[in-house]
Amino acid sequence: MPIQHCRYRQENPWVVTWKSSTGCKLTRSFATEKEAVTFERVQAEIAAQEKAALRRRRAGRVAKRNRISVDTLLDSYFTLAHSNPVTIRQSGYHAAHIRAAFGKRLASQLCKQDILKFSEAQKLRGIAQITINRRVSVLRAAINWGVRNELLPANPLADLRMPRARARRTAPPSPPEINAILAAAAPHVQRVIVLGMYTGARIGPSELFRLEWRDVDLEQAMIRMPSAHKNNRQDARDVPIRRALLPLLRQWRQQDAARGIATVISWRGRPLRSITRAWHTALEKAGIERRIRPYDLRRAYATYALAGGADIKTIADLMGHTDASMILKTYQHVLDSQRREAQEAMPDILRLDSAPLREQPPGLQRAA
Separation between Cα atoms, residue 140 and residue 73, nearest integer Å: 11
16 beta partners: 3, 28
Q: What is the DSSP letter of 106?
A: B
Q: Tell me what pLDDT residue 96 has.
A: 93
Q: Tell me what pLDDT residue 73 has.
A: 92
pLDDT per residue as tens digits for the range 266-316: 999 899 888 999 999 999 999 999 989 998 999 889 888 888 888 888 888
What long-range pairs does 190-197 form, CB within 8 A, spacing at least 24?
191/252, 191/264, 191/265, 192/265, 192/275, 192/294, 192/297, 193/297, 194/245, 194/248, 195/264, 195/265, 196/294, 196/297, 196/298, 196/301, 197/297, 197/300, 197/301
More confidently predicted of 363 and 94: 94
Nearest partner of 180 among 108, 288, 93, 90, judged by Cα: 288
For residues 44, 50, 51, 54, the Cα torsion angle rounded to the nearest 10 degrees is 180
If you average pLDDT over residues 319-347, what whole number do you get?
68
How crowded is the C-beta side of 357, counted as CA atoms within 13 Å? Answer: 8
CATH for the stretch 175-344: 1.10.443.10
Q: Tell me what pLDDT residue 341 has.
A: 66
Confidence of residue 157 (pLDDT cuts 50, 70, 90): very high
Confidence of residue 38 (pLDDT cuts 50, 70, 90): confident
Indicate whether this model's pTM tops 0.75: no
pLDDT per residue as tens digits for the range 211-265: 999 999 999 999 999 987 654 567 889 999 999 999 999 999 999 999 999 999 9
Q: Tell me what pLDDT residue 258 has.
A: 94
Separation between Cα atoms, residue 19 and residue 17, nearest integer Å: 7
